Each structure stands twice: as C-alpha cells, then as structure tokens.
Amino acid sequence: MTSGSATHPDPRPDRIAIIGPGAIGTTIAAVLHERGHTPFVAGRTAAPALRLESEQGAVDAPGPVHTDPGTVEHPVDLVFLAVKATQTTAAAPWLSALCGERTVVCVLQNGVEQIAAVQPLVPGTVVPAVVWFPAVRESATTVRLRAAPRLTLPDVPDARSVQAALSGTRCAVELTDDFTTVAWRKLLQNAAAGLMALTGRRSGMFQRDDVAALTRDYLAECLAVARAEGAALDRDDCERILAGFRSAPADLGTSILADREAGRPLEWDVRNGVIRRRGQAHGIATPISDAVATLLAATSDGPG
C-alpha cells in the first residue's frame, strides 16, 4: 500500500512540516508542539499562531503559518499533508519545496487513493493514513478537538517514521497489516455521510426508517466494491456503520456537510465517486452510488 520500502531514520523534531492548518493539521501541529516538537506549518493564509481546544485544555502552537514556498531552504524529514483532497494540486508547490528523496509524506486525507494522488507530486515516500478523530474549525486559527486523536497506518517501515514523530503525544498511531480493510471501512462511513451533504441534514436524519433503508442499500453496494478491492468486510460492518449514525447525537454533522454549508468544494469524488469508478473496474453495478455521486458533484460544482 506504500511506494518504496527504504528504512528512514526517525525524523528530527526541527524537520517536520505540516501542509494545511485546518482542523486535522492544527491538531497535529498542537500535539507535536505540546511535546516540544514545534513543526513548520504551511498554508494559504498567514497566521501568528494556532490554537487547539479540548477537554484536556488548550494548546497554543506558535506560528507563523508560512505562505510562500519560496522561503523553504531545505527538504524536511517528514511532511503531514493535511489539506483536503480537493486541494492537493494547489499544495504541489509546498510539496516540491519541502520534499526530497528521503522525505516521508503522511497523507491525512479521506479516501483510498492517497498514494495515486500524491506520489506523482513528490520524490520521496507516500504513506496513507486513516484519521479517526473529530475536530472542527471554530475560527481561522482555532480548532476544537472532540475526541482523542488517533491515526491508523499500514505496517510498513516508512510508517514508523510517523509513529516515532508522534510518540509520546496525545495522538495515537496504530500500524496494521491489513490497511486495505481499515481504509475501506472508513470509506464506507464517509460515503454514507455524503447523504447528509445531499439533504443538508445532520445525523438525526438516519433515525428515519426510509433513510436507514436507503443507507443500508447504499452500503451494500459499497461493500461489494470494497470486497472486490480486497477488503475483509461483511454485512455486519455495514450494520455497525448505520447503527453508529442512528445512535449519534441528532445534531452531529460531518466535514462534507460543513463544506456544503460554507460553500466550499466537496470531496465527493474521493468519498463517493470512487465507488462508481472502482465498481466499473470490477464490473459491479452501482446504481445508488452513481446517483449519489452525480448529485454530490452538482451540489459541489453547480451551476445554479
């Protein structure tokens, strides 16, 4: 699941960078700073500092947030790419400036296609990650963390650089020898959450029996594609995902809904369109996925 297998030394604390100081990037920056490893932070908008708030208290990670890739003097050991998948191409100048042949890029994005999307932009190694913590942006520089941060990575040598960098921080890093299954399980959850962006409603809508039935059928389509891709998932996984939505607080949202509410482009392609693409590759019919992806694309791009 990763390109290359060279063993990299543990990243030096002063040679870690984060691209994208959004909810996920700010969380990683703050937990690193809290441990005494303040990273270089790159973004589109300058800021003097970043703030993470949680039940464990607030952490102020000193900036600045850098906005000019031309100011980078040398490659770093480890880059956390925390921009949304829709912003990967825009982040290419930063990846070019910060990455050398021995740089490990840990991709903190939704989907199952991180390597295919990012590897052409960097000379080093790309390691995908599944992000398991809810964090929301409350202002341009403040993020609220709602649960303990956790990442899952494939159990490959290059992933151990990420694990070493976050060792001793509040962010747990788990390595798995079946990353395909973990990544597709999260994708099924994200795909179903796309229905919230279509309706403009929050988790409470899944308590409707008709919405639950539609979600169950949609997840069954996604499951067929996931299994064809090698994921060891079954119907029980789909039921657990649906049960999670139905038992969640009625006002709980999701990032793709937040993007719709803010008028931002949606990550519909990596979360929902991928089901259609991979289904076609395996000769699996996905009529619900086809409709959902089309409607999400129109929701994201217009016109109208």
Provide the annotated active-site residues. Answer: 186
Cβ-based burial of 235 (10 A; exposed 0-12, middle 13-18, buried ≥19): exposed
Beta strands in the chain (DSSP E): 16-19, 40-42, 47-53, 59-66, 78-81, 104-107, 125-128, 130-131, 135-137, 142-145, 150-154, 172-176
Report phi then psi at 12, rounded to 5: -70, 140
Output the six-digit token pair for 159: 């992933």
DSSP string across 37-50: -PPEEE-SS-EEEE
d(CA 195, CA 220): 15
Output the six-digit token pair for 69: 């890739």
